[in-house]
Amino acid sequence: MDGFINLDKPLGPTSHDMVAYARRVLRQAGLRQVKVGHAGTLDPSATGVLLLCLGRATRLSEYVMAHDKTYVAHIRLGESTTTYDAEGQVIGRHDASGVDLEQVEAVLPRFIGQIDQLPPIYSAIKQDGRKLYELARAGEAVELVPRAVRIDRLTVLDWSNPELALEIVCSSGTYVRSLAHDLGQALGVGAHLVALRRTRSGRFDVAQACTLKQLTDVEALRAQLVSPSQAFGESQMIRLNAAQIAELRLGRPIIRSAEDERDWVLALDEEGAAVAVLRPGVGRWWPHKVLA
């Protein structure tokens, strides 16, 4: 039970609710010892690709989370909210009837490329050990620090003033709520995110995702498991023999080719099972995470 499940998260539940559901299924089959986590949180109001991590794959969540994402965002112009989405309180209204598609497409290039993005005040980013949304709800001062993110493509899928459907291809860590808010500011009328669907996360596409209704029992979970080797692809992996694996388990490095410029690799045994994540050193691969 080591691998990832590509789940099409429904509207309403939290990402943690999806983890709890998988745990219940495993408990009912007597598999309490199997760890479950997720990679890349989706808000309750968002749907689409949510990666559940089972067993040893829970220790690989940071690596699948780091991959680029694709979203379809529905944005409403003319209203700004406290949370930058439909869950928040409306704090500004402007007439957006004069905005046309040409104006929208004219400002989109401002957000393409490497940009500094301010996260929403209501977010899980931590300040002095506490989440920003906890500080905001308590009425305490929140210090927003810009974060470097990358947006590769913005494509208008539908336009019916004042609503806009936008496909976004971006780096991990990009806040689509902030993009919606900033787009509204650039147009001078304000905006907020109405709905969000994640259609891709790295190699995982929503077209191949399973639904919650399909995960009825442990065999259904097992049938949907994607192994770490499938999740990362051959370009990010190396295969080791038993002697090399023994060295890694003792915390010792193994030889790395001088031409290899990868910043990490997933090490597999001769049967294709993931055994460790390796980081580069001078002429060596060092064990960063050894999977028990």
Which of 221, 149, 176, 228 lies closest to 48, judged by CA?
A: 176
Q: What is the arithmetic mean of pLDDT over 92-121?
A: 94
* Res. 235 pLDDT band, cuts 50 70 90: confident
Q: Give the distance, in angstroms, between the CA of residue 263 and the centroid of all CA atoms in the same chain.
A: 20
Read off the pTM.
0.90
Residue 287: the pLDDT is 94
* Res. 259 pLDDT band, cuts 50 70 90: confident
- Is the pLDDT at 47 greater than 90? The verdict is yes
Residue 34: the pLDDT is 93
* Rounded Cα distance, 38 and 14, in Å: 11
Residue 260: the pLDDT is 86
* Rounded Cα distance, 25 and 219, in Å: 10
Structure tokens at 147: 């974060």
Residue 168: the pLDDT is 98
Residue 228: the pLDDT is 87
- Is the pLDDT at 127 greater than 80? The verdict is no
Residue 1: the pLDDT is 83
Task: Report whether 26 contacts 52 (CB < 8 A).
Answer: no
Residue 234: the pLDDT is 84
Residue 192: the pLDDT is 97
Question: Amino acid letter at 98?
Answer: G
State which CATH number among 2.30.130.10, 3.40.50.2300, 2.30.40.10, 3.20.20.60 fits the domain covering 233-290. 2.30.130.10
Structure tokens at 176: 């689509």
Calculate what percentage of the chain has a pLDDT beyond 70.
Answer: 93
Half-sphere exposure of 162 (CA within 13 A, CB side): 21
Q: What is the arithmetic mean of pLDDT over 98-124?
A: 91
Q: What is the arithmetic mean of pLDDT over 221-235?
A: 89
Out of 2, 8, 43, 85, the active site residue is 43
Residue 170: the pLDDT is 97
Structure tokens at 23: 């745990």
* Rounded Cα distance, 6 and 239, in Å: 25
Q: What is the arithmetic mean of pLDDT over 265-275?
A: 90
Q: What is the arithmetic mean of pLDDT over 231-246?
A: 90
Which of 72, 52, 48, 45 lies closest to 170, judged by CA?
A: 72
Which CATH code fits 3-67+203-231? 3.30.2350.10
Which helix (H) or strand (E) segment holds residue 115: the answer is strand 113-117
- Is the pLDDT at 138 greater than 80? The verdict is no
Q: Give the distance, in angstroms, between the CA of residue 36 and the centroid of all CA atoms in the same chain.
A: 16
Q: Report in angstroms the alpha-carbon separations of 84 from 137, 147, 183.
A: 15, 17, 11
The phi and psi torsions of 165 (rounded to 5 degrees) equal -110, 125
User: Is 233-290 the same fold as 69-201?
Assistant: no
- Is the pLDDT at 214 greater than 70? The verdict is yes
Residue 144: the pLDDT is 73
- Is the pLDDT at 132 greater than 90? The verdict is no
* Domain at 69-201, CATH class: alpha beta
Residue 141: the pLDDT is 67
* Rounded Cα distance, 184 and 93, in Å: 11
Residue 136: the pLDDT is 64
* Res. 242 pLDDT band, cuts 50 70 90: very high
Boundaries of every domain in the chain:
3-67+203-231, 69-201, 233-290
Instruction: Based on the residue annotation, tell me whether 260 is a catalytic residue of this protein.
Output: no
